[in-house]
Structure 1
């Protein structure tokens, strides 16, 4: 009886987010981020000024299988910027298989991982090169660039996890916003438009 075995693939992770050996790269542009920022007027002004095809962030990943037990490894590169007082963000997600965890390790830049649970817990973890956050299952998470250079993270998660991106949009944004503090830093403040998360993330 023969057993099919995946072959190890050497990867090279670059501090700028390039991943030699990746199996996929995808990009999100300014035009893809409609509805993500609370200050819609500031977002639309940015689109008008810079163009809808302006890159916001890119992801490179290596995936060898979707089976249980396999891992996806990749890099996320989020460019700096502000929209009103809000810093540039990724769309954010919770895993479709909600108990799946994810590790993020900062390679370059200065960022925050904003984390929330459906029942109302919230945390904002600041990341600089050499620092990591181990995101447990059941936590919604989003990367935020609070610096002036690209915020680059190395991530890994279970290949069968999947992503639910709609949960944030359905709640009119995350419970917290990461904004400029007026003194060159950042602060986490309540999002007054947040409506709460649905209970069944697999619906």
Structure 2
């Protein structure tokens, strides 16, 4: 009488069921960070995707670990969508972080992501998640199967602002490590 979902999110925020699972290690991302002084086998983040729906929607979960590479916060690789007309939603589940958005002119902006926040991302922006907290940063995402992932554009035109930790502050710096802005680390109190 009652049908139960084949896929679900457990109490730890892990995606269980008919999902694909990928893990990114430091060795996969080391060229993106300012420094490479951590072990290549360090697990940086995980992605779970459920692409089993009969319609065009994909549901995903990303878990970004609270790792500092010297003083740089851990982040996802980031990507544009192959189909720039298809957007995406990120929903904060656990922890806190930033959503970096970059247009094709390399203008970057940031949005605070926290449990319960819903963030729409237009397909015309590259996007990356950054863990600025002391625990796992978990987000859920909804997007169209037709969106695709364009990693090459971000490789050829990388995010040009870095997010660093300095004492109890978050520092935004350019690619030459020049400070652009500095804010208190407890972003939630500044809302």
TM-score tier by shorter-chain length is 0.7 to 0.9
Matches within 5 A, 1:108-187: 108-171=94-157, 173-180=158-165, 182-187=166-171
The TM-score, its normalising length taken from structure 1, stands at: 0.78
The answer to whether the 8 Å contact 1:95/1:161 transfers is yes
Could you say which structure has the higher strand fraction?
2
Instruction: Measure, in 1, the Cα distance between the counterparts of 2:149 and 2:45.
Output: 17
Q: Which residue of 1 aligns with 2:38?
A: 46
Instruction: Measure, in 2, the Cα distance between the counterparts of 1:132 and 1:53.
Output: 32
Large movers: runs of 4+ above 6 Å:
none
User: For structure 1, which segment, 9-18 or 141-150, has the greater mean C-alpha deviation from structure 2 after superposition?
Assistant: 9-18
Q: Deviations over 1:164-184 (max 9, x none)?
A: 11222212x30221112x232
How many residue pairs match? The answer is 174
Q: Structure 1: 5+ residue runs without aligned partners? A: 1-7, 194-203
Q: Which residue of 1 aligns with 2:172?
A: 188
Pick from 17, 27, 31: which aligns with 2:27?
A: 31
Note closer, same or farther for the CA distance 1:139–1:29 as it changes in structure 2 (3 Å cut): same
Q: Kindly report the root-mean-square deviation, in angstroms, between the aligned alpha carbons of the 2 structures.
A: 2.1
Q: Structure 2: 5+ residue runs without aligned partners? A: 178-191
Structure 2 residue 12 is the aligned partner of structure 1 residue 16: yes
Q: Deviations over 1:100-123 (max 9, x none)?
A: 111001110111010010034321
The answer to whether the 8 Å contact 2:80/2:153 transfers is yes
2:130 is paired with a residue of what secondary structure?
A: strand
1:57 is paired with a residue of what secondary structure?
A: strand
The TM-score, its normalising length taken from structure 2, stands at: 0.83
Instruction: Measure, in 1, the Cα distance between the counterparts of 2:11 and 2:123.
Output: 27
Where relative contact order (Cα < 8 A, 6+ residues apart) is larger, the structure is 1
1:112 is paired with a residue of what secondary structure?
A: strand
